[in-house]
Structure 1
């Protein structure tokens, strides 16, 4: 979904602000496996996935790649540690499909947010959605079985098995690929 369509579904913005935001967010197409961000980056960019699938990941134990989160169409993603805390973000971001991504520097976006109560409210709601998603993920890793995490992942991302490599899915679930194969065979 295009950014403007997404915004119109969430809040009522003036036509002028819609146009300004559409121009301010740079639109780019990237191939599968493109790395939008490397781990330990200091990026100040906010990304909106118009088309495609992205994952955030970190490196552990001499470069072992662990998937932290998936971002499908109509999702905002940004390196919170860099933007809000001026620290490097441990998470890289890789595109798992040919993707259309919109981006804007956070300081530029913040100027528009300060001028629009509706946009400020939208950003607040989006941040609450992110907090809820991470809270759910934290809860899942602490208290749910691998089978429960798998079932919830399929509810959240129904076509994830067609879009992401099994190794990334297994690391997201906190299990090995062998365990993922056993769980898939049981369903």
Structure 2
């Protein structure tokens, strides 16, 4: 999904505001497997995913754990680096060839003041992302592994075709063997 189409589906920008967004958000492409952000690093980049699939992940006891998936038409950003000036424990990895639009937060922040509609759009994006993280947290706390799997399939119906099963299993907080058992019951 194109960045301006996404923004204009949420709020209305003037032609001049669209031109500024188009100029400030730079295009970038990543091949499958490439890191957008390395774990335990600093970044102030905000990403809008136009095409492809990105996962955030971290390492625990030398294991690679998937935290979240972001697909077309979504924003993602290293919040620890941007808002708390601490290294970001998460890495961002392209799971497919991925095209993004990116802007440094230092450039975005003054735009949000100048363009109130853009600020409103980012407020709604933040609420949407918080809702998704809340759903994941609730599923980890209150659902069985099988229920978590079905919740994920409802939210991301094509994820099984796009992400490796090991990464899906770690996202669900289960082993790949448990995921295979659950999938076999369908």
Pick the TM interval, shorter chain: over 0.9
Say if 2:11 is the partner of 1:11.
yes
- TM-score, length-scaled by structure 2: 0.98
Taking the aligned partners of 1:28 and 1:179, their CA distance within structure 2 comes to 37
Q: What is the total number of aligned residue pairs between the two structures? A: 186
Tell me, in whole angstroms, the C-alpha distance in 2 between the residues paired with 1:12 and 1:91: 33
Tell me how far 1:123 sits from its aligned partner: 1.0
Cα displacement string for residues 153-175 of structure 1 (whole angstroms, at most 9, x for unaligned residues): 11111111110000000000000
Q: CA deviation at 1:41?
A: 1.6
In the other structure, the counterpart of 2:114 is 115
Displacement of 1:136: 1.1
Report Cα offsets for 1:19-58 as digits up to 9, x if no partner. 1111111101211001001111210000000000000000
Matched residue SS, 1:22: helix
Q: CA–CA distance in 1 between the matches of 2:150 and 2:15? A: 41
* Cα offset, 1:138, TM superposition: 0.8
In structure 2, what is the Cα distance between the partners aligned to 1:120 and 1:30?
28
**Structure 1 unpaired stretches of 5+:** none
* Residue 79 (structure 1) aligned with residue 84 (structure 2): no
The aligned residue for residue 182 of structure 2 is 183
Match of 2:20 in 1: 20
Mapping of 1:147-162 within 5 angstroms? 147-162=146-161
Distance in 2, Cα, partners of 1:29 & 1:105? 16
Q: How far apart are 1:84 and its partner, in Å? A: 0.6
Unaligned 5+ runs, structure 2:
none
For 1:136, the equivalent position in structure 2 comes to 135
Q: 1:29 and 1:119 mapped to 2: Cα distance?
A: 24
**Aligned residue number for residue 52 of structure 1:** 52
User: Residue in 1 aligned with 2:94?
Assistant: 95
Cα deviation per residue 1:39-85 (whole Å; 9 max; x = unaligned)? 11210000000000000000110x21000000000010000011011
Root-mean-square deviation (CA, aligned residues, Å) is 0.7
The runs of 4+ residues in structure 1 deviating greater than 4 Å are none
The aligned residue for residue 29 of structure 2 is 29
Q: Secondary structure at the match of 2:157?
A: coil
2:167 matched to which residue of 1? Answer: 168
